[in-house]
Amino acid sequence: MTAPEDKPFEEWDRPRQGWMLSGDCRGHRQRTLLLEMTTRALFPTVLVFSLYLLLVGHYGPGGGFAAGLVAGLAFVLRYIAGGSDAAVRLRPPVLIGLGLTVALLTALAPTVVGAPVLATTKLALDVPLIGHVETQTSVFLDVGVYLLIVGVVLDLLRSLGAGIERDMREAGETPS
């Protein structure tokens, strides 16, 4: 039994393929054209929707966790359409770590101005083109959670999806 870590880090954790692009599907036998085409349209739409959920989260239904899951579902859809080779060029653990760092720094930041940990305050911005935007500083915490959840979903796809299929190929079994 070879544990993943027997290989040097760079090898086992390196993304093996590019983003799944349309026309780049390698499992030619099992292509589902309909799903592939739908995914092509849905993927960016779902990602934009997840960003919307992330930003309205403080005053309406949504938030970092829900938005992260929705974004993760977009990647799941792409994985189903593109099969085992639909890896992404990001290391999921790095995404998890980045998200956690952002969330924790947001939690610690108020102590600099003498407020308790995790304290939030209103954030009013005048953004060009969009206009006046009001939100809370906790949106940064939500961004951290968002990144973390997307990272977790990608890691699940890598280890429980693509990883298992790769192991099956190496063992000479064909995925049914």
Q: Which chain residues interact with another protein by CB under 8 A?
A: 1-3, 5-6, 8-10, 13, 93-94, 96-98, 100-101, 104-105, 107-108, 111, 114-120
Minimum gap (Å) between residue 116 Cβ and another protein = 5
By C-beta, is 78 or 158 nearer to another protein?
158
How far is the CA of 31 from the CAs of 8, 19, 23, 25, 36, in angstroms? Answer: 34, 17, 10, 8, 8
Minimum gap (Å) between residue 112 Cβ and another protein = 10
Q: Rounded to 5 degrees, what are φ and ψ at 94?
A: -65, -40
Q: How many CB atoms lie within 10 A of CB 132?
A: 8
Helix (H) or strand (E) holding 130: none
Minimum gap (Å) between residue 78 Cβ and another protein = 23
By C-beta, is 97 or 163 nearer to another protein?
97
Token digits for 84?
Answer: 């085992």
By C-beta, is 42 or 119 nearer to another protein?
119
Helices (H), the chain: 9-13, 33-56, 64-82, 92-108, 138-156, 163-170
Are 35 and 80 spatial neighbours (Cβ–Cβ below 8 Å)?
yes
By C-beta, is 10 or 126 nearer to another protein?
10
By C-beta, is 15 or 175 nearer to another protein?
15
